[in-house]
Chains A and B, each alone.
Chain A
Amino acid sequence: MAPSHVQPGAPQEPSADRRLSTLVRHLLPSSPRRTAAEDSSATLESSPTMASQGCSVFAGLAQAPEDPILGVTVAFNKDPSPNKVNLGVGAYRTEEGKPLVLNVVRRAEQMLVNDPTRYKEYLPITGLADFNKLSAKLIFGADSPAIQENRVATVQCLSGTGSLRVGGEFLGRHYHERTIYIPQPTWGNHVKVFALSGLTVKTYRYYDPATRGLDLKGFLEDLSSAPTGAIVLLHACAHNPTGVDPTIDEWEQIRQLMRSKSMLPFFDSAYQGFASGNLDKDAQSVRMFVADGGELLMAQSYAKNMGLYGERVGALSIVCGSADVAGRVESQLKLVTRPMISSPPLHGASIVATILKDSEMYHEWTVELKAMADRIISMRQQLFDALKARGTPGDWSHIIKQIGMFTFTGLTSEQVAFMRQEYHIYMTSDGRISMAGLNAKNVNQLADAIHAAVTQLK
């Protein structure tokens, strides 16, 4: 606290009342709730910010509803059953059901800790430069013409969510068509992210419950009737929550339609490498759109494929028509991020950059990544086989056709509730299960539960 002193030229005359009340406070026994007004025996005026009156300015505020996905984990945690299975979790689990930190990440972490020259200064507003360049290369390909022509503006963001929000805000400010089309269904948080960005959110058909696959016809019809220039959110691979991805041919049809209507693709890539086990394969959809020379937005996350969940590591890239535009776009992106977070967090991005720039560590990462993807693919097969072995009615081939962390089982909400009640299996009410939560020990329990649910409740 600065010492009390007279400022020459700055008139200051504390009121007599104030002086008196200060004096009185010193003379009377102190009490934390005693106000100056009480001390000087003036009438105590009720104020919205006075604790003793209990009148907060936020008094009328209601409690927000619980997040449906997180609600599953909350319920799971409360369940005392030793056999409970959590299939709501969106994080990878090992065969032993434990969270995993990749070996290569631990190595990078150790390198950072042991490096005495490392400081924790602010990153630039756009984030760690190495990280940005390497991230763009990772998703677009090192030989991408867009990169070589300096047409890519990249800013480090807070994982996928942050990248989507920054991209959305940017479009809300600078893009002429403020409508974004998102697939039906999609990740629960997408709607809010884009609505708060100032965009109107509409949907396009995506999932066909009859086939538990892609409704391409509905997809293309809905985009056809959308306005020219509309923004279209595309899951780059491993669609969340359905696990249903277009084939390359289907992607080509989508691309042609979109480009013919000058629609702006906004890719959400949360599972590159995690879906098929191959980083380039999982980036094919994106690269097709870059290859035709057009523009797009790309939200990238390292939460799953590097297991960096809580470190919040991601990047937003905007592929622009020219290097000049990319430069201007980057400067405007900074104006979006700065008043949100000032600059992004250092640690996670440093880990990613450390790994991506070292060819040996990069290789180790691809091996560990493939192992995670393979385990999930294996669990899909095991679940499918278990259901087949039980003769569970219905076609369950979608379990092995769908890709990525999640499977849209097709179970109804009644069946889901039944499975929770009778078998202590937890999943979101839309029937989405996280394959990461499955292992050889609990897959049979799940198969039993599905079998029971499907045969007892139609």
Chain B
Amino acid sequence: MALSSRASIGRQRLAVVPAARAMASWFGHVEPAAKDPILGVTEAFLADPSPDKVNGAYRDDNGRPVVLECVREAERRIAGNANMEYLPMGGSMKMIEESLKLAYGEDSEFLKDKRIAAVQALSGTGACRLFADFQKRFLPDSQIYIPTPTWSKFPSSFLHLSVIANPMFFLSHHNIWRDARVPQRTFTYYHPESRGLDFAGLMNDIQNAQDGSFFLLHACAHNPTGVDPSEEQWRERSFQFKAKKHFPFFDMAYQGFASGDPERDAKAIRIFLEDGHQIGCAQSYAKNMGLYGQRAGCLSILCDDEMQAVAVKSQLQQIARPMYSNPPLHGALIVSTILSDPELKNLWLKEVKGMADRIIGMRKALKENLESLGSSLSWEHITNQIGMFCHSGMTPEQVDRLTNEFHIYMTRNGRISMAGVTSGNVAYLANAIHEVTKAN
């Protein structure tokens, strides 16, 4: 590009010096990134104005996004009162404390003994990334096992539910550990024929993995399948993990949001703790407090003793510092305001149960609708699965029909976001699913 006559500074001098390269950019060789399945979808989604879109982030029964009342109240208390100084590198102590109580139990001995190294993180993704970097730095020969299915298995022409780009966890998990340069493998998880858990396959993979492998476990409401192990199956896994000396890293993105009861949703973690595992845990408040965009989360690692916890925390901070220095304040203030105030905490518990109950109710309604339409297929999995997503078992072709004929949007692997299902659209949805799945 020729030197612009608009250059206003030192014009005389600039005329003497050759213009900065008028030729190819240094970045001309940069390839466009492979299209993000979610964002690519958003464009198609927005192009179709049909009101029957089924969304990805939580929606109330009117199909509208929700800000919890406890969050609004917390923000009212914060605005005008809190200053905006830097948090410490490890984040808000108060938020961390409350988060650990949630995950490890209010009366956890590990808390009393100060054995948990914990830092505030950028929601679940940030927590996973810190752990992945930490794992790479201190156990450079280790690898991570990530459950399948994953996004990378599916065709790229996805249609996604959410208007707003909703981070897809499986895609993110692989990218997170990849960017941290930790070698990764997958382990069996989902059983498509039954739309349930391939428990034997899973246990097989656990046994066949090299001793001391790191495993990423979804604490509850597995994303994207909605298939969770039973309590008995969790105990089996814990036992096998001990035999193999594996490291359990829990990703808990839906505590409270899955069953409606945070204690119950933490059961898998509690089982592993009882069995003596020294776990790692990524917690997110994106869904269960509706704080999506605030990026509020926590990373914790259970250590041998207090001294080690201090050391581990200091090293986690060393990873955070050259990434973002210290974590964002606002989301942390909301979380700690709510969880440290008994009244607000109770309100939160009520509201998160409300969200979970609505989803459980929609699962029931969808299944019942399909049954009363006379579908000959089994839809048990809709109510067996748990959390935000339902793996319907529909084929990509069936999903395409749903989109083209019924304006229903979901990913081509047949994953439905139950949060977008309402009493107003469940009958329509059931009818559409029945139409595309019934035998001709």
- CB-CB < 8 A to B18: which residues of A? 259-260
Surface stretch bound by A, among B3-11, B351-359, B425-433: B3-11
Say yes or no for A3: interface residue by CB 8 A criterion.
yes
Nearest residue in B to A157 (C-beta to C-beta)? B324
Say yes or no for B303: interface residue by CB 8 A criterion.
yes
CB atoms of B384 and A2 under 8 A apart: yes
CB atoms of A292 and B303 under 8 A apart: no
Say yes or no for B434: interface residue by CB 8 A criterion.
no
A125 to B295: give the CA distance in the assembly, Å.
12
- CB-CB < 8 A to A12: which residues of B? 199-200
- CB-CB < 8 A to A21: which residues of B? 239
CB atoms of A310 and B4 under 8 A apart: no
A303 to B230: give the CA distance in the assembly, Å.
48
- CB-CB < 8 A to B198: which residues of A? 7, 10
Nearest CB on A from B54, distance (A): 16
Say yes or no for B33: interface residue by CB 8 A criterion.
yes
A342 to B287: give the CA distance in the assembly, Å.
14
CB atoms of A58 and B303 under 8 A apart: yes
CB atoms of A345 and B294 under 8 A apart: yes
CB atoms of A125 and B39 under 8 A apart: yes
Say yes or no for A262: interface residue by CB 8 A criterion.
yes
- CB-CB < 8 A to A327: which residues of B? 32
Say yes or no for B300: interface residue by CB 8 A criterion.
no
A147 to B96: give the CA distance in the assembly, Å.
42
From the candidates B9, B191, B329, name the one contacting A7 in the complex (CB within 8 A). B191
Nearest residue in B to A161 (C-beta to C-beta)? B325
CB atoms of A162 and B79 under 8 A apart: no
Say yes or no for B291: interface residue by CB 8 A criterion.
yes
CB atoms of A51 and B326 under 8 A apart: no
- CB-CB < 8 A to B243: which residues of A? 45, 47
Say yes or no for B51: interface residue by CB 8 A criterion.
no
CB atoms of A122 and B292 under 8 A apart: yes
Say yes or no for B377: interface residue by CB 8 A criterion.
no
Nearest residue in A to B228 (C-beta to C-beta)? A2
A52 to B405: give the CA distance in the assembly, Å.
59
Say yes or no for A256: interface residue by CB 8 A criterion.
yes
CB atoms of B324 and A165 under 8 A apart: yes
Nearest residue in A to B65 (C-beta to C-beta)? A119
CB atoms of B275 and A36 under 8 A apart: yes
Say yes or no for B348: interface residue by CB 8 A criterion.
no
- CB-CB < 8 A to B10: which residues of A? 248, 252, 288
Say yes or no for A358: interface residue by CB 8 A criterion.
no
A64 to B201: give the CA distance in the assembly, Å.
41
- CB-CB < 8 A to B303: which residues of A? 56, 58
Nearest CB on A from B395, distance (A): 18
Nearest CB on B from A444, distance (A): 27
Nearest CB on A from B228, distance (A): 4
Say yes or no for B44: interface residue by CB 8 A criterion.
no
CB atoms of B248 and A309 under 8 A apart: no
A-B contact number at CB 8 A: 392
CB atoms of A329 and B27 under 8 A apart: yes
Say yes or no for A264: interface residue by CB 8 A criterion.
yes
Nearest CB on A from B191, distance (A): 5
CB atoms of A174 and B36 under 8 A apart: no
Q: Which of B5-59 contact A (CB under 8 A)?
A: 6-10, 13-14, 17-22, 24-33, 36, 39, 57
CB atoms of A345 and B330 under 8 A apart: yes
A129 to B95: give the CA distance in the assembly, Å.
29
From the candidates B22, B230, B292, B301, name the one contacting A1 in the complex (CB within 8 A). B230
CB atoms of B293 and A342 under 8 A apart: no
Say yes or no for A202: interface residue by CB 8 A criterion.
no
Surface stretch bound by B, among A213-221, A317-325, A414-422, A448-456: A317-325
- CB-CB < 8 A to B28: which residues of A? 321, 325
Say yes or no for B373: interface residue by CB 8 A criterion.
no
CB atoms of A57 and B139 under 8 A apart: yes
From the candidates A35, A121, A289, name the one contacting B57 in the complex (CB within 8 A). A121
CB atoms of B231 and A9 under 8 A apart: no
Q: Which of B282-328 contact A (CB under 8 A)?
A: 286, 290-295, 301-305, 308, 310-312, 314-315, 317-318, 321-328
Q: A293-B19, A312-B327, A338-B167 are in contact. Are A332 and B294 (CB under 8 A)?
A: no
Nearest CB on B from A71, distance (A): 12
Nearest CB on B from A178, distance (A): 13
Surface stretch bound by B, among A132-140, A188-196, A369-377: A188-196
A121 to B21: give the CA distance in the assembly, Å.
42
A62 to B24: give the CA distance in the assembly, Å.
48
Annotate B160-179 by CB proximity to A: 1 below 8 A, 0 otherwise: 00001111000010011011
- CB-CB < 8 A to B292: which residues of A? 120-122
Q: A56-B304, A341-B122 are in contact. Are A347 and B330 (CB under 8 A)?
A: yes
Say yes or no for B123: interface residue by CB 8 A criterion.
yes
Say yes or no for B245: interface residue by CB 8 A criterion.
yes
A123 to B295: give the CA distance in the assembly, Å.
10
Nearest residue in A to B233 (C-beta to C-beta)? A4
CB atoms of A122 and B3 under 8 A apart: no
CB atoms of A91 and B172 under 8 A apart: no
Q: Which of A298-352 contact B (CB under 8 A)?
A: 303, 307-312, 318, 320-322, 325, 327-329, 331-332, 334-336, 338-348
Q: Which of B235-249 contact A (CB under 8 A)?
A: 235-236, 238-239, 241-243, 245-248
27 residue pairs bridging A and B, Cβ less than 8 Å apart: A9-B191, A34-B274, A36-B239, A50-B242, A59-B308, A105-B84, A106-B80, A112-B79, A120-B293, A158-B122, A159-B325, A161-B322, A161-B324, A162-B325, A192-B322, A252-B9, A259-B17, A289-B20, A328-B27, A334-B33, A335-B175, A340-B125, A340-B323, A342-B126, A345-B330, A347-B331, A348-B328
Residue ranges of A at the interface with B (Cβ–Cβ < 8 Å): 1-5, 7-14, 18, 21-22, 32-37, 45, 47-59, 61-64, 67, 70, 91, 99-101, 105-106, 109-110, 112-113, 118-125, 145, 158-159, 161-162, 165, 174-176, 189, 192-193, 195-196, 229, 248, 252, 256, 259-260, 262, 264, 284, 287-289, 291-295, 303, 307-312, 318, 320-322, 325, 327-329, 331-332, 334-336, 338-348
With A7-B196, A12-B200, A99-B84 given, name 11 new contacts (CB 8 A). A8-B194, A49-B279, A50-B276, A57-B247, A61-B308, A101-B83, A262-B21, A308-B84, A332-B33, A336-B179, A346-B293
Q: Top 4 nearest A-B pairs by Cβ distance?
A: A294-B20, A321-B25, A346-B293, A310-B329
